[in-house]
Amino acid sequence: MSKARSAHIATSIGVLDVGPGYHLSAVGGSASARLTLLGEPAVDGQPLGSPASRYARIVAYLALHRPTTRARLAAALWPDAEPERAQGSLRTGLWTLHRRHPGLVLVGTLVQLRPDLSVDYHELTRTAHRLLHDVAAGDDVAVDRAAELLRLAADTELLPGWDEEWVVHDQERFRQLRLHMLEGLSAQLCRQGVYGMALEAALAALGGDRLRESAYRAVIEVHLAEGNVSEARRQYRTCLRLLHAELGVLPSQATVRLGHSLGVVPPATRPGIYEAGHRRPSTLAGPGALAAYRRAGGSGGSRFGSGSLDGTRPRAADPTELGPVRWEELRQA
């Protein structure tokens, strides 16, 4: 393509050459800009659009990845389209982006967001890493800082509703980091005696994943620190029932140790733990649990087995009412 033709195209979408390999929007943006990716995506409070929007895809991708070439950007955003069609969608998206948010993107040999753009996702990620470092070092957390972190992280997701391949990994990475941050914040605040806020952080982590054992332990530990044994037992029993009902697995050793301190015994591994009427345990429970299930007469072929002697449907045992766990027997079964 001739240099004159390149200049014409640059002018038509409103970009000016500002140096080797880069262009800047001819209509300058504000002195500073803020991109929101946690929750509904927006630029300076203006909604960015849904995943179906070409320019929204461009901005979100560039915010999560390194500067890239036009060809790679088009292929990543429209993987099922022919290269020419994908490039056309990219050009249309860049043109619309310039019209709606001038100055947001640098376009040239590489495509990238303006370097002074602040992104809430990156800010909260850095904050979470600093907090986890402070917690590991045993440093106290200021109460006002903890309150702000709870406000930001209690119930937030990265680009909720987006399921493109290039965003799923970052969504899960952020989800795990957020849950670890809330659990770490809860532990540190509990050590500082700020129990109300510690419990709020632990419950926020539990709200992010109802099957997360470490979140249950965080909640239980705050209750124990406050002397609320009945509340701690209730959360422990809820954890056992959900693990049994949803996954068919036994709790981890860390959770079992905590349960023993409460005087509540988890499921036994003796014959009968997976009696007829129990859901067949998940393979996540390991081969030992499956072997114990088979010894008890479980068939795995239906919800209710055929091991009942009187021909009636047997009752599924409550996992919190059974005897103590023998972990070595479970492993060796």
% the chain with pLDDT above 70? 70
For the cut 70, the answer to whether the pLDDT of residue 28 exceeds it is no
For the cut 50, the answer to whether the pLDDT of residue 277 exceeds it is no
Which pLDDT value is given to residue 15? Answer: 36
Q: Lowest mean pLDDT: which of 19-28, 120-129, 169-178? A: 19-28
Helices 213-226, 253-262: axis angle to 10 degrees equals 30
User: Residue 32 — pLDDT band, cuts 50, 70, 90?
Assistant: confident
pTM: 0.72
Based on its alpha-carbon atoms, the radius of gyration of the chain, rounded to whole angstroms, reads 27
Mean pLDDT value of segment 12-29: 34
> What is the number of residues in the chain?
333
For the cut 50, the answer to whether the pLDDT of residue 308 exceeds it is no
CA dist 117 and 32 (Å) reads: 7
Which pLDDT value is given to residue 267? Answer: 56
More confident residue, 48 or 329: 48
Which pLDDT value is given to residue 276? Answer: 36
Which pLDDT value is given to residue 30? Answer: 45
Q: Lowest mean pLDDT: which of 34-43, 132-141, 151-160, 288-297? A: 288-297
Q: Where are the domains of the chain?
A: 3-116, 118-227, 242-333
User: Residue 2 — pLDDT band, cuts 50, 70, 90?
Assistant: very low
Which pLDDT value is given to residue 61? Answer: 98
Q: How many helices (H) and strands (E) does the chain have?
A: 13, 8
CA dist 285 and 168 (Å) reads: 27
E-strand stretches of the chain: 15-19, 22-25, 34-36, 42-43, 46-47, 105-107, 111-113, 118-119
Mean pLDDT value of segment 32-53: 93
User: Residue 263 — pLDDT band, cuts 50, 70, 90?
Assistant: confident
Calculate the dihedral angle through the C-alpha atoms of 303, 255, 333, 274, rounding to the nearest 10 degrees.
-20
**pLDDT tens digit sequence for 101-144:** 999 999 989 999 999 999 999 999 999 999 999 999 999 999 99
If you average pLDDT over each of 223-227, 254-258, 267-271, 319-323, which comes out highest?
A: 223-227
CATH number of 3-116: 1.10.10
More confident residue, 204 or 309: 204
105 beta partners: 113
For the cut 90, the answer to whether the pLDDT of residue 166 exceeds it is yes
Which pLDDT value is given to residue 304? Answer: 30
For the cut 50, the answer to whether the pLDDT of residue 219 exceeds it is yes
